[in-house]
Amino acid sequence: MPGRVKPAPPSVEQRLALLKRRYLASLAERREFLDTVLARPVDDPDRSKDLQTFAHKLAGSAALHGLDQVSASARELDLALAAAEPEAVTMSLARALALLLREVSPQGPPP
C-alpha cells in the first residue's frame, strides 16, 4: 500500500534476548533428555557416550548464552566422563547438573 511505513526490524539486542528466551525454554527438553539417559541401566553401552555428548554440547551452548554455572557443571561432567571417572562420581555430577537445569529453566511453553 502506498504510504504505509514498514516497522523497523528488531534490534540486535532484541534478537539476542529472543534467542536467549528460546534457549532457556529449550532447557526443559534438555533436562528431560538427561533424566531419560540417567534412568538407563548402568551397563547400557551408549549411556556414557550419550551423557558425554550431551554434557559437551550443553557446556558450549550454555556458555554462549551466559549461563556460566550450567556451563561449568556440564563441562565438569564432560571431563569426568572423558577421564572414565568412577560411576559414583559421574552420576553425582549428572544429578547436580539435572538439578541446576531445573533451577534455570522457565516453567511453561516456549515463546
- The boundaries of the domain holding residue 104 are 46-111
Report the domain count for the chain: 1
- Residue 81 falls within a domain, yes or no? yes
Which grid cell is 26? 529449550
Strand, coil or helix: 111: coil
Counting Cβ atoms within 10 Å, is residue 87 exposed (0-12), middle (13-18) or buried (19+)?
Answer: exposed
- The answer to whether 73 and 93 are in contact (CB under 8 A) is yes
- Residue 30 falls within a domain, yes or no? no
Per-10-residue mean pLDDT, the chain, length 111:
79 90 89 92 90 95 92 94 89 90 69 45
- Residue 65 falls within a domain, yes or no? yes
Say whether pTM exceeds 0.85: no
- Residue 2 falls within a domain, yes or no? no
What are the helix (H) ranges across the chain?
12-39, 47-64, 68-82, 87-104
